Amino acid sequence: MAKVKISDGILEGEKVKNEYGGTYYSFKGIPYAKPPIGDLRFKAPQPVEPWDGIRNASKFGPISYQNDVFITKTIIGQEDCLYLNVYTPDLAPNKPFPVMVWIHGGGFVCGSGNDDLYGPEFLIKKDVIMVTLNYRLGILGFLSLETEDIPGNAGMKDQVAALRWVQNNIENFGGDPNNVTIFGESAGAASVSYHLISPMSAGLFKRAIIQSGAYTSRWAKCLRPRDRALSLAKKLGCYSEKDKEVAKFLKSQPMELFVDPKLTITAAENNKRTFELHVGVVSEKKFGDSERFFYDDLELNIHQDVDVVIGYCEHEGVFSLLSGAKNIADQFNMYPEYFVPTPIAYNSTISEQLDIGKIIKKKYLGDEIISEKNMEKLVDFFTADLFMYSTIVLSRIISVRNKNKVYLYKFSCKSKRNLSSKMCDVDHVLEDKTYVCHGDDLGYIFPMKLLQQDVQTNSKEYHMIETVTKLWTNFAKFGCPTPDNSFSVQWLPYTMDKKSYVSIGDTIIADNNPQEDEVIFWDKIYARHFPHYVF
């Protein structure tokens, strides 16, 4: 057993043997805010109440209430979910360790910081502290009535509260509060990118790693959130549009009624078969002195002196076939406007949507009909539409200001640890080869125990794990993924003139100007409605 005194009391954790070498200290289920229940539902997190005596920190705390649509396919969790976990190589090091805070993905609707997927064993060998956290998800974490009672972004403010906790307490675990790297994947990556610009997050971290997602991604911001909140209230039986009545009604409902985050507000949204997000970060209105996480007139300047690693997987779009490849193909064959990115669609007439949709369809499919024979072309579209283009856009936004270094990558590791296409149950409609799908990078950073994959230390898979974790921890320690001669290439920052990036696969290959033709194409698509995306 191991004891640590923090600002709220004393914790008793465990010393754990790492099956991949060495030992580490584990402290689980640490509360970082009050349970967001009762009148605190939908509100910003409140300070945790200190405890007397010694708190057992050997078990995980409850996770956010959710329908886990990706892994367990079950409804799990509680409203009382604001807990984090700390793993450290040593409680009294000669020099404080760099700290890496993981923000999990899951489409803002599911996931947790538990070690069934996000264990510390690979990273902690590299002498860093790892922190994982739970935050409110789905309706409970992201509903916005655009009122003082339900302003939105509760889940993002939970993340801020956890980062503030790290600043106040990580020294007690042997960590350096002045050297914190936040990193995340998918919705976790979008979250990390929002922290780069949120006034609430300034000064809470030094570096950021953004894996497959960004605030520039067309799914990362919730459009017309008040309409969605009112739609939910109507589904549950409240047809009032008076703010106080609706807020009181929603706060009084059992959490079980909030498990379905599908808050559609148009017939087209309701009928679309692809996996779409209807909750997420919103533009908050100002109410008195309350802190706002994000708002539309916010200056999109990256926090000073914060450097960034950002990238995407080679075949991200495989994930988009999750809800049924044939159904999706049928819809996209019939309705060309489905090719139009949602933010553009909301700012276009139906006639314009049809025209834009036909242009995009022509780019990726020519005159072909989508079928199982050419499903890869639809995957290419989804890869660009959902992840690749928005990643390049954010890289440019950071680079053009010339105040923060940004390192761009394309992830292309292929091995038995690439399981996402099988988990999505779509590998049978694609050619018989290994894809680097959305989420496949995670298996090279975390053991992912839930997937029951053993890794032999002399295997190809373990070699790639060592490569990726060294790149990530080098960046956390030194601000550069390749600070010495231990790699065969030097990973140069992305700049507007050279557009440097690396492909991370069996080997690391340095190159320039990734997917240039596609980026130019999407620039033309976005130029009218989002000119600030185009450089």
Give the residue carrying structure tokens 């549009």: 241
Q: Which of 104, 195, 278, 438 is catalytic?
A: 438
Burial of 517 (0-12, 13-18, 19+ CB in 10 A): exposed
Give, in degrees to the nearest 5, the angle at Cα 355 between 352 and 358: 145
Q: Which residues make Cβ contacts (< 8 Å) with residue 531, sequence separation at least 6? A: none
Q: How many CB atoms lie within 10 A of CB 300?
A: 12
What is the DSSP secondary-structure string of 431-445?
-SS---BTTGGGGGT
Q: Which of 64, 144, 186, 217 is catalytic?
A: 186
Burial of 386 (0-12, 13-18, 19+ CB in 10 A): buried
Distances (CA, A) of 292 to 198, 245, 285: 8, 23, 8
Measured CA to CA, the distance from residue 84 to residue 27 in angstroms comes to 9
What is the DSSP secondary-structure string of 104-125?
--STTTS--SSTTT--SHHHHT
**Token pair in block for residue 89:** 């190589």
3-state secondary structure of 248: helix
Q: Tell me the longest C-alpha to C-alpha distance in the chain.
A: 71
Measured CA to CA, the distance from residue 50 to residue 62 in angstroms comes to 18
Q: How many CB atoms lie within 10 A of CB 462?
A: 17
Q: Which residues make Cβ contacts (< 8 Å) with residue 90, sequence separation at least 6? A: 25, 97, 174
Q: Which residues make Cβ contacts (< 8 Å) with residue 398, sequence separation at least 6? A: 302, 308, 310, 404, 406, 494
Q: Which of 316, 337, 461, 518 is catalytic?
A: 316
Give, in degrees to the nearest 5, the angle at Cα 15 between 11 and 21: 145
What is the DSSP secondary-structure string of 256-277?
GGG-------SHHHHH--S---
Q: Does the annotation count 463 as an active-site position?
A: no
Measured CA to CA, the distance from residue 472 to residue 219 in angstroms comes to 26
Amino acid identity, position 517? D
Q: Does the annotation count 428 as an active-site position?
A: no
Angle between helices 225-235 and 243-252 (to 10 degrees): 60
Q: Where are the beta strands (DSSP E) in 341-444?
A: 406-411
Measured CA to CA, the distance from residue 65 to residue 135 in angstroms comes to 10
Angle between helices 389-400 and 516-526 (to 10 degrees): 80
Q: Which residues make Cβ contacts (< 8 Å) with residue 94, sequence separation at least 6? A: none
Nearest-CA neighbor of 332 among 309, 297, 365? Answer: 365
Amino acid identity, position 137? L
Measured CA to CA, the distance from residue 329 to residue 310 in angstroms comes to 30
The residues annotated as belonging to the active site are 186, 316, 438
